[in-house]
Chain A
Amino acid sequence: MTFLDELGRFLGSENVREQLGRNLLEHCYLALLPLVLGVVLAIGAGWLGRGRRRMRGALFVVGNVLYTIPSLALFLVIPGIIGTKITSSVNVVLALTIYTTALLVRPVLDALDNVPAHVVASATALGYRPARRFLAVELPLAVPVLAAGVRVASVSNISLVSVGALIGTGGLGVLFTDGFQRTYFAPIVVGIVLTVLLALVVDVLLVALRRVLTPWDRTAPTRAEVTAA
C-alpha cells in the first residue's frame, strides 16, 4: 500500500475528519489565547520597565530564565502549583502565557524605546497624564516594532502546543502521539501540514492587523522614493 493510499483512507473517514476539526480548533484556542494574554502582560511589563534601567534589567533576567524552562517540565509542574488536573488545558494556556510574556518583554521595551523622545516630550507638554500618554501615544507608535515580536511569538506558541499532547491536553499534537504509537504516518503528516498552515494563516492575519493599526506607517516615503526624488 502506498503512502498516498494510506493518507486517502485516513482522511476518508468521517470520524477522523471531525476529530481533525476539533483538534484544529483546540490548537487555535491553546495557542492564541496565551498569545493575547502574553501581549497584554508584556505591555504591562513594558509600562513598568520603560525608562527605568534596573527594572528593565530585572525584567530581562526573569524573562530569559522563564523562557529557558523546558515546556514539558512546565506543563507538569504547573498542576502541582495551582492544583489543576494534569490533563487540564489551563496548564498549557498558563505555560504558554508565561513563554509569550517572556518572549515579548524585550520587543515591547525595544518598541517603546523606539518611540522618538521628542514626541513623548511634546505629549507631556501638551498635558497628557502618564497613563493616557502611554496608551494614546507611546503604545500606538510602538506597534510596528512590537508586531515583529508578536509574529515570532505566535509561531512559537503554535509549535509548542503540540508538546501538550504528550500529557493529553489535545490540539494537533494528538496526531503525532497517535501516529507514533501506531507507527502510522498519515496522521503525522496531516498534523505537520495543518500546524504549518495554521501558523501561516495566523501570520497573515497578524500582518493584516498591523497594517490596520498603523495606517500612518505607510505614508512615509520609502528609500526608493526618496532616491528617485
Chain B
Amino acid sequence: MSCAAAKETAPMVHSSAKPDATVNPCTLCAPLGAALATAGVRGAIPLLHGAQGCATYIRRYLISHFREPMDVASSSFGEAQTVFGGEDNLGRALDNVLAQYHPELVTVATTCLAETIGDDVPLLLNRYRTRTGNALPLVHAATPSYKDGHVEGFHAMVYALVKGLACNQGAPSRAVNLLPPLVSPADLRHLREIVAGFDVAAIVLPDYADRLDGVILDRYRALPDGGTRLVDIASMPRALASIDLTLTGRAPRASKLLAERGAPARVLGLPIGVRATDVMIESLSELTGAGRPAWLVGERGRLLDAYADGHKYVFGASVGLYGDPEFVAALAGFLLEIGARPVFCATGARNRALPEALASLPAGSVDEVLDDTDFESIGAACERHKPDLLMGSSKGYRLAHALGIPLLRVGFPIHDRLGAGRILHVGYRGTTRLFDELVNALLQGRQDASPVGFSYL
C-alpha cells in the first residue's frame, strides 16, 4: 500500500469500449432492468415483446440473485412474427397473462428483435385496448439492448411508470417520493424506515423489497404481495418532494417529470457513507420540518465510532471498484471518506454516467475510470493498479480468485452466495456493515499471509 498523497498529481485516465469483441460483460441487457423495476409495483407483471429466450434468461438471472420466483412473460416471437410483426402474439400474450395472473398492471418492454423489426408498441397497445375494451393499465418502455444496458432499462421503466401513472395533481399530501436506483430489498426497507423516521409517508418507486425478498408461503401467489400501490404512484405529483437517489446518467428524468407535475425534485445520489447519508437526512429534515430521529443520530454516532476503531486498517488500501455507475460512484465516495483508494472505477454502462459523476471529485482521487468496459479490461486494470481488494458483483470472482485478492460482494448480481437481497448498503447502518466487511476482508488477508497469525487486533 502506498500513501494516498503520492497519487495526488496523477491525472485521471479514462478508458472506454473496444472496437471489437466484449469479453466477459460487465452489464446486462436493458429489458432485465425494465422487468426488475416492474416487480416494484404491486400486482404488476412484466411482459417482454420478442422471442421467448429473453424472458427466460432474464428470469434465470434474477432468480439466481434474489432466490425468489420472478415471472416474466414473453410474446414468444416465431419466424412469422419476425416477418409480419408481433401484434397478434402481443395480444395473445396479454390475454394469457391476464387470464393467469389477474394483474393490476402489465408493463411491456421491447427486446432487440421487436425494436429492429420496428413494432410500434404504443400503437399496438392502443389497438389492444380498443379491441378488448380492457381498462387495465399498460405501460410501455422501449428497451433495445443495442442501445443501453440494464441500468438504463431500469430507469426507462421507472420513467414510463411515472409518465403513465403518476397523474393525480390534487391537494398536497404529506408524503415524500423516493426514487432509488437498483438496490437490494434490504436497502429498500431501510430507506422506507429512514423516511418514516421523519413522520412522513414514503412512496418508493420501485419497491420490490417484499416481492423479491418474500416470506415462505403455504399457498402460492401468482403475483406475490408487496410493491408500490398504483394509487400511491398516482399521487406522487402531490408529494412534498421527490428525492432522487440516482445522480448519474439519464436517471433523474423521472423526478424531473414529477417536478413538472408538482412535486419538487432533489437529486441526491445513493446514500452510502457518512457524508452522502447526511445529505439525504438533511434533505428530509428540511422537507418535513422534523428533526432527525434519535435512532438515526445513534446510528451515525456508532458508524463514526466504527470508523475510529478501524481507520488504520483501511487507510491507503487500494480497491478496484466495478458495477452500476450510481453504485460505483457512491462507493468511491465512501472509500475516499475513510482514506482508502479507489484505484479504478469501472462500469459496463455505456452512457458516460460514471466518468461524469466522478469528474467532480478532487484530482487524483481515482487513478482510472473505465466506462463501457468488460471484465477483460477490468482484468488488465488490475494488472496496472494491483488493488488490494475488489468490490463489486460476484462476476469479479474469477478475477479475484486468479489474483489471490479478496472480493467484497456488493450490488448486483451476486450469484455465488446466499442472501444477496439481504445485503444492506445504504444509510449509516448499511455503511457500518460495509466498513466492517471491508476491514475484516483486509484483516483476513493479513492473517492468511502471516506464518504465525494473530489472535487480537
Tell whether A pairs with B.
no
